Amino acid sequence: MPSRIHESVITVPFDSNIYLIGGFDRRGRSIRSFYFDTSRPNYGWRDIPKMLVGRERPSAIAFNGKLYVFGGTRNIYPQAETFDPETNEWIPLHEPNWELETQGGLAFTIPDDKSDIKLMVVCTDDYDKSLNTYDVKTQSWDHFELQCCSELGLDKAAIFANGVVYWYSKKQNNLLGYDLASRNWFPDPVAGLEEANVFPHRTDESPVWILHLGGETMCLTWYVKTHGSATNMTVYCTTFRVDKCDNGKGETILVATVESSACSHVNGSECLDFIAL
């Protein structure tokens, strides 16, 4: 692991590579990024060219052979940029007419029903949260506000799967679903998880990750540090699938089926991020 990146990096899987984007080091927000080729592990971590601006835990995604990076802090230009491994350079994206206030937010792709063009969608990490779409073909932006976010207490942990954005609510200690097509929250939290005891205890100050493993299968991961230790921890991981069901009242709800649960003890390292490969 590169020692020059201390914290607040974002991790992005890209083909056989794992990229570490931005972060925060001794000089402040980092413009440096690194990659690790899992097919050539002996090469270790290698640099890529510096970004155009320093970014602290931006949103990022690999799409169509390029890396797209959004936000990371306020009052920066460009707000978004893309890295092309073929040309080995960063290029600024067209600027939106509003600020992408995203730190640790979510970036994913969705099909556009009208033209079947893939869109970049960035979930911002501001107080009220919004969804921002970037059309790669037309290089245009759009966005809309999510409702009731402050009341729901949404965490940074979120994924997109099968038309639904899933968010972990730290305030409610459960998983919520947002239907992207109707732009409405599902009436109830995802059922079947709280009974399976997959969430951290409310007294734990535990960060939570949600990973999409493909199809309807997801993984919820969190850890608890050993008392008095900064680098020893117990990592909990639960895989489950989510299906849409009728609740008997004419409403669609989300129901989870737990497939496996495990915990592992990790010594001598500090966890910054989890990814699914």
Reduced 3-state DSSP string for 199-212: CCCCCCCCCEEEEE
Determine if residue 71 is left, alpha or beta; phi over 0 gives left, psi from -120 to 50 gives alpha, anything else beta.
Answer: left
* 13 upstream amide cis, omega within 30 of 0: no
* Per-residue pLDDT tens digits for 133-149: 888 888 888 887 777 66
* pLDDT band (50, 70, 90) for residue 163: confident
d(CA 270, CA 275): 15
Quick one: pLDDT at residue 189?
92
Q: Please state, as a whole number, how many other Cβ atoms lie within 10 Å of the Cβ of residue 182.
A: 10
> Lowest mean pLDDT: which of 54-58, 74-78, 224-228, 251-255?
224-228
Most confident range, picked from 4-18, 89-103, 116-130, 250-264: 250-264
- CB-facing half-sphere around the CA of 50: CA atoms within 13 A: 6
Quick one: pLDDT at residue 84?
94
d(CA 52, CA 31): 7
Quick one: pLDDT at residue 124?
56
Quick one: pLDDT at residue 206?
74
Quick one: pLDDT at residue 229?
65
- CB-facing half-sphere around the CA of 33: CA atoms within 13 A: 32
Instruction: Write down the residue that tokens 């914290």 correspond to.
Output: 7
Mean pLDDT of all residues in 234-245: 91
Most confident range, picked from 3-12, 116-125, 136-145, 254-263: 254-263
Residue 234 pLDDT exceeds 80: yes
Counting every residue, how long is the chain? 277
- CB-facing half-sphere around the CA of 224: CA atoms within 13 A: 10
Most confident range, picked from 90-104, 117-131, 219-233: 90-104
Quick one: pLDDT at residue 252?
93
* pLDDT band (50, 70, 90) for residue 26: confident
* Per-residue pLDDT tens digits for 165-221: 888 888 888 899 988 888 888 999 999 987 777 887 755 667 788 888 888 899 988
Instruction: Write down the residue that tokens 């600024």 correspond to.
Output: 92
Please state the φ and ψ torsions of residue 88, each to the nearest 5 degrees.
60, 45
First to last CA, the chain: 18
Q: By percentage, how much of the chain surpasses pLDDT 90?
A: 24
* pLDDT band (50, 70, 90) for residue 106: confident
DSSP 8-state assignment for residue 152: H
Quick one: pLDDT at residue 158?
79
Residue 81 pLDDT exceeds 90: yes
Residue 221 tokens read as: 């991961």
Q: What is the chain's alpha carbon radius of gyration, rounded to the nearest angstrom?
A: 19
Question: Average pLDDT over the chain, rounded to whole?
Answer: 81
Q: DSSP alpha helices (H): ranges in 108-195?
A: 149-152
Residue 57 tokens read as: 């835990």
DSSP tally for the chain: helices H, then strands E? 1, 22
Quick one: pLDDT at residue 253?
94
